[in-house]
Each structure stands twice: as structure tokens, then as C-alpha cells.
């Protein structure tokens, strides 16, 4: 015979007064310094923008992959695009040789194989 399902009462339900009370009172946050810091960072980004519309630093120092703390940058240089398809930087891909040299051992060769 199968036991019937038992219903459990929960002490807090999402968006109930008891749930809301667990997060009250709200902590006051002074948003003025946060906003000022964000605007200053945006201003620095705009200042280093290249004529093509993307940040100059992304072209001068492209994104690279890291594996085991080593930069993998021996492969092809490709352009990166934003959500609208506009070029906004570059990336250096890892070469096949770099990936082969840093290949992880197969699980069967590990001292304690993964289970």
C-alpha cells in the first residue's frame, strides 16, 4: 500500500508579510557616491575611446585565454563585437599547439579516477 502524501506547513511564503519581515528594516544606502563613481568610470572609458567607437585599450591589449595561469595567445587575432554587431575590441585565440601542450590528463590516467 502506498502512503498518502503529507502536506507540510511552511513558516515563510514568498512575498508574504512574514517573509517580508525577515528582510526588514531596509538598510539606507547613499546612492550619490555610487552614482558619482559610476559616472567617473564612464568618463574615463569615453576618454580612451578610439575613433572606431570601441575602447582603445581593447585593441591595444586584446582579451586572451588563461589556462593554469599561462596566457594562451599564439593563435589567430579575431575582432569582438557587441550585441548590435559593432566591432568593439579584439581577442587573441590560443593556438592548437598551446592547447595540446596544456592538455589535462585523461581521467583514466589520474591516480584516483573520477567516479
Confidence of residue 99 (pLDDT cuts 50, 70, 90): confident
Predicted pLDDT at 93: 92
Predicted pLDDT at 109: 60
pLDDT in tens, 46-71: 766 655 555 566 557 788 888 878 88
pLDDT in tens, 11-37: 556 677 877 777 777 788 888 999 899
Burial grade of 1 (CB within 10 A; 0-12, 13-18, 19 or more) = exposed
C-alpha–C-alpha distance, residues 21 and 61, integer Å: 49
Predicted pLDDT at 37: 93
C-alpha–C-alpha distance, residues 76 and 21, integer Å: 55
Residue 90 CB neighbour total at 10 angstroms: 17
Amino acid at each position: 500500500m502506498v502512503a498518502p502524501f503529507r502536506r507540510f506547513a511552511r513558516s515563510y511564503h514568498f512575498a508574504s508579510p512574514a517573509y517580508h519581515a525577515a528582510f526588514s528594516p531596509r538598510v539606507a544606502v547613499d546612492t550619490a557616491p555610487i552614482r558619482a563613481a559610476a559616472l567617473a568610470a564612464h568618463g574615463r572609458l569615453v576618454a580612451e575611446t578610439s575613433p572606431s567607437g570601441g575602447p582603445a585599450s581593447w585593441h591595444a591589449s586584446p582579451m586572451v585565454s588563461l589556462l593554469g595561469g599561462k596566457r594562451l595567445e599564439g593563435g589567430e587575432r579575431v575582432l569582438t563585437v557587441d550585441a548590435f554587431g559593432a566591432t568593439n575590441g579584439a581577442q587573441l585565440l590560443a593556438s592548437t599547439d598551446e592547447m595540446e601542450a596544456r592538455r589535462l590528463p585523461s581521467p583514466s590516467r589520474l591516480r584516483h579516477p573520477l567516479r
